Amino acid sequence: MCGILAVLGSHDYSPTKRARILELSRRLRHRGPDWSGLFVDEQACCYLSHERLAIIDPTSGDQPLYNGNKSIVVAVNGEIYNHEALKKTMKKHDYHTQSDCEVIAHLYEEVGEDVVGMLDGMFSFVLVDLRDKSFIAARDPIGITPLYLGWGNDGGVYFASEMKALKDDCERFEVFPPGHLYSSKSGGLRRYFNPPWYSGTMIPNTPYDPTVLRTAFEKAVIKRLMTDVPFGVLLSGGLDSSLVAAVASRHLANSKAANVWGAQLHTFSVGLKGSPDLKAAKEVADYLKTKHHEFTFTVQDGLDAISDVIYYTETYDVTTIRASTPMFLMTRKIKALGVKMVLSGEGSDEIFGGYLYFHKAPNKEELHKETVRKIKALYMFDCLRANKSTSAWGLEARVPFLDQDFMSIAMAIDPAEKMIRKDEGRIEKWIMRRAFDTPENPFLPKHILYRQKEQFSDGVGYSWIDGLKAHAASQVTDRMLKHAKHVYPYNTPNTKEAYFYRMIFEKHFPQESARMTVPGGPSIACSTAAAIAWDKAWADNLDPSGRAALGVHDAAYSEVTPATTTTTTQSSHENVISANSFNNNNPLLGNILQPQGVQ
């Protein structure tokens, strides 16, 4: 990952302003510690700053990047996986670097704002056309990479990879919505990403073909092995990360290109000593014969990191912080090994209905609508966690399950095939398991392939969450929680754990705009609207743990006490955000989650 900061429309070009831009950009340097670049043009009224993490073309791919005659300049955070394919369809251009992102400037020269719909990758970028002094900003369809939009005290429009670069110089700021383009020519945002499944109203009916699904996922993983630096896979031992590791390992063993870093895949896992994830990951790594790295942490290590985790992830969402902390600690260890890129398994549960409350889905129509809502919310939860937890230490995380081509195939499958029918042996994500159930040449042992889902914050060790709750209880009194609505009227915390995180967040980000970038309200309380509609018993299920959900997990907590099963939390990755409720609670974010036609 990289960090970008752009200021457009400011008329202050004094040395003091330049120094301020550099100071704000420096707040993003953890995302890109390899080099810093700044482009300034007084005529176009623009500053483009870039903090680079060098993954492709480390020697000459510094940013900002330009087209042939440097009339178009762009600062990019992300990876463009189809850059070579695009070059083959374009006119001949003079390229300054081997960077995959430079193609954006040349493609814009040919097709203008349509460039965004032609890119296959994860990206956030700001592009300035010096020919007519216009600019555009865009974010990838799902929101794998972060981007924020602000309105500065100097009258300029600001864009930044993280809000810490905006919070002190913008009158207000908000999340830049995924799949959207901001154009100075049209004067606002419009959604460019509009696949058939996106509205959720049209129920797909394509028959399930395990070979087609498997092939598409293999391509998605292999595509993300595009790198000029050491890499690996984050391996929890669950289905999703194990499949990523299995495909990557098989490809490297058969690829001549793998000789750059060796044919043996490196895998990484984290957990408390003796945790389920460490045990499962080791078993998968042994089967795949990867070079496995196992990292342990203590509850105290995690507690000591909480403030830093909240600062880097820029959220006070409870389950995001729970899961981000082990990932944050693991990333630091990975970076110390010299690794700069990892593959991760986010997105599968949203696409295939893998969360345990999907056991209660009453029909295929409801299941499909819920998967669409979950995918739309990814940028606020799992994508945010995966990106910012790793970027905090200058590591890039790539997510094959959110590949556009793979998602198009997976979301076109008749959702009846995604329904969970335990009496027929169909557990959650059965169609992915079946696609990789190839006895003649197995990707994974069957007992691993059909292992039930374990929520990450549980899998790293069950005492992790208990430790968090106990620590929060020591920091937040009953009286403080009782009067929480007077202290925090927006997204009022309803547990001591939530209150504790909120206190830390407000110290780092006291601005009203900052607290409003975090989703909340009744729509994402512990019990989701969909889950309650599917099973009224969910309304009384007060613990967000996936393992405790609705009694559908094959195992149960051995350490559960009344105290840990009667605590509400602010939100959960099992949760879904109602678009209408979210918008009502977040006026600055407008219609980010509402379906929109391309304008």
Catalytically active residues are 2
**Residues 237, 220: Cα–Cα separation, whole Å:** 20
Cα-only R_g, the chain: 23
**Residues 287, 249: Cα–Cα separation, whole Å:** 11
Give the DSSP H or E segment for 493.
Answer: none
E strand segments, 222-327? 231-234, 266-271, 291-296
What DSSP assignment string belongs to 527-558? S-HHHHHH-GGGGG-----GGGGGG-SSS--S
**Residues 231, 397: Cα–Cα separation, whole Å:** 10
For residue 293, what are the contacts with CB-CB under 8 A and spacing of at least 6?
232, 266, 267, 268, 269, 333, 334, 337
The C-alpha angle with vertex 303 and arms to 299 and 305, in degrees rounded to 5, equals 120
Please check whether residue 415 is in contact with residue 331, taking contact to mean a CB–CB distance below 8 angstroms: no
Structure tokens at 244: 């990523």
Cα distances (angstroms) measured from residue 112 to each of 109, 135, 183: 6, 11, 11
Please check whether residue 328 is in contact with residue 392, taking contact to mean a CB–CB distance below 8 angstroms: yes
Per-position b or e across 441-462, b if 16+ CB within 10 A of its CB: eebbeeebbbbbbbbbbbbbbb
Cβ-based burial of 185 (10 A; exposed 0-12, middle 13-18, buried ≥19): exposed
Structure tokens at 437: 């159930």
- Residue 241 CA, chain-centre distance (Å), reads 15
For residue 562, what are the contacts with CB-CB under 8 A and spacing of at least 6?
none
Per-position b or e across 307-316, b if 16+ CB within 10 A of its CB: eebbbbbbbb
Structure tokens at 151: 């309105």
Q: Which residues pair with 79 in a beta bridge?
A: 122
- Residue 272 CA, chain-centre distance (Å), reads 24
